[in-house]
């Protein structure tokens, strides 16, 4: 079964419009999918799903907790929930402030990129992110590609790095749940401290993104076992942003029985 519950559009830091991404899902024969833009649900209402496919509402909420950046995926919630929309707006404000500070620090370090340059790279985006800063650097000829910009200018210890200050994962789980949704931990293999999973389960976490392009066989086995231990559902997502950097495209092939418990919750 081909599914994809983790993808991004130009409404956040992806490069395809919501309709273009939906059509890409159709080309790849993705049967069930979500658009999970960072800190915004604005893609919904802006695309028509391909014939025969099923769409599940989704969002990726960036959070910070004890020095970790933790991403929570929410599925099946009411996209017009005032409480959820309020917390997403709070995060988007933090994103904008962070991007502005990155531009300021880069200027002081001798890189002539401005916040206006960053905004020009995000004409449709409701949620700014480091990729927009990286694209501004590329446009100004100060970086060859996004990976170089991240490694040399925008990660911790580099001149353009600014720590993220978002809501906590517990707050995100609470808002997703209150909006009728299912809270899932995104790409747990990227956590600095995997023990955080143990803390998030009592807070209402209901799933793990077990199937993810950067998870190797050992990771999948570990997270399968974790999901079984806590009674969490398993999900799958390619985390697609841009075909130039995510050449695998969209869609993850998984066993139907692995994904059925999640589908029963959200469809």
pLDDT of 200-232, one tens digit each? 999 999 999 999 999 999 999 999 999 999 999
CATH classification number, 2-87+169-266, choose in 1.10.10.10, 3.40.50.10490, 3.20.20.140, 3.40.50.1000: 3.20.20.140
Sign of the dihedral through C-alpha 83, 179, 10, 234: positive
Q: What is the mean pLDDT of the chain?
A: 96
pLDDT of residue 93: 94
pLDDT digits (tens, 9 = 90+) for 74-112: 999 999 999 999 999 999 999 999 999 999 999 999 998
| Lookup: tokens for 31 | 């049967």
pLDDT of residue 58: 98
Q: How far apart are CA 90 and CA 83, in angstroms?
A: 11
pLDDT of residue 122: 92
CB atoms within 10 A of CB 233: 21
Distances (CA, A) of 139 to 100, 113, 246: 17, 9, 20
pLDDT of residue 265: 97
pLDDT reading at 25 higher than 90: yes
Percent of the chain with pLDDT over 70: 100
- Quick check: do 2-87+169-266 and 92-154 share a fold? no
210 contacts: CB under 8 Å, gap ≥ 6: 188, 220, 223, 224, 227, 234, 235, 236, 258
pLDDT of residue 66: 87
3-state secondary structure the chain: CEEECCECCCCCCCCCCHHHHHHHHHHCCCCEECCCCECCCCCCCCCCCCCCCEECCEEEEEEEECCEEEEEEEECCCCCCHHHHHHHHHHHHHHHHHHHHHHHHHHHCCCCCCHHHHHHCCCCCCCCCHHHHHHHHHHCCCCCCHHHHHHHHHCCCCCCCCCCCCECHHHHHHHHHHCCCEEEECCHHHCCCCCHHHHHCCCCCCEEEEECCCCCHHHHHHHHHHHHHHCCEEEECCCECCCCCCCCCCCEECCHHHHHHHHHHHC
The closest alpha carbon to 235, from 72, 115, 114, belongs to 72
pLDDT reading at 243 higher than 90: yes
| Lookup: tokens for 153 | 């200018």
Average of per-residue pLDDT across 152-170? 94
* CATH architecture of the region 92-154: Orthogonal Bundle (1.10)
Domain ranges across the chain = 2-87+169-266, 92-154
Confidence of residue 245 (pLDDT cuts 50, 70, 90): confident
Report whether 103 contacts 118 (CB < 8 A): yes
Q: How far apart are CA 243 and CA 80, in angstroms?
A: 30
pLDDT of residue 67: 83
pLDDT reading at 242 higher than 90: yes
pLDDT of residue 253: 97
Average of per-residue pLDDT across 38-44? 97
pLDDT digits (tens, 9 = 90+) for 46-78: 999 999 999 999 999 999 998 889 999 999 999
């Amino acid at each position: 079964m081909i599914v994809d519950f983790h993808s991004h559009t130009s409404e956040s830091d992806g490069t395809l419009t919501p309709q273009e991404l939906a059509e890409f899902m159709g080309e790849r024969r993705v049967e069930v999918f979500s658009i999970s833009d960072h800190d915004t649900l604005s893609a919904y209402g802006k695309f028509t799903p391909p014939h025969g496919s099923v769409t599940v509402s989704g969002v990726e909420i960036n959070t910070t907790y004890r020095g970790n950046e933790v991403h929570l995926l929410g599925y099946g919630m009411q996209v017009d929930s005032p409480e959820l929309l309020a917390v997403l707006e709070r995060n988007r404000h933090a994103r904008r402030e962070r991007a502005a500070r990155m531009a300021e620090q880069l200027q002081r370090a001798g890189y002539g990129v401005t916040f206006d340059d960053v905004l020009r790279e995000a004409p449709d985006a409701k949620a700014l992110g480091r990729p927009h800063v990286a694209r501004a650097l590329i446009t100004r000829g100060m970086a060859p590609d996004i990976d170089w910009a991240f490694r040399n200018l925008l990660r911790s210890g580099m001149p353009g790095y600014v720590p993220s200050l978002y809501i906590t994962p517990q707050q995100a789980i609470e808002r997703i749940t209150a909006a009728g949704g299912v809270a899932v931990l995104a790409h747990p293999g990227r956590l600095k401290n995997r023990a955080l999973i143990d803390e998030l389960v009592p807070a209402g976490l209901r799933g793990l993104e077990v199937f993810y392009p950067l998870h190797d066989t050992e990771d999948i086995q570990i997270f399968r076992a974790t999901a079984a231990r806590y009674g969490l559902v398993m999900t799958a997502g390619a985390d697609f942003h841009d075909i130039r950097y995510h050449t695998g495209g969209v869609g993850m092939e998984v066993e139907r029985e692995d994904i059925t418990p999640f589908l029963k919750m959200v469809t």
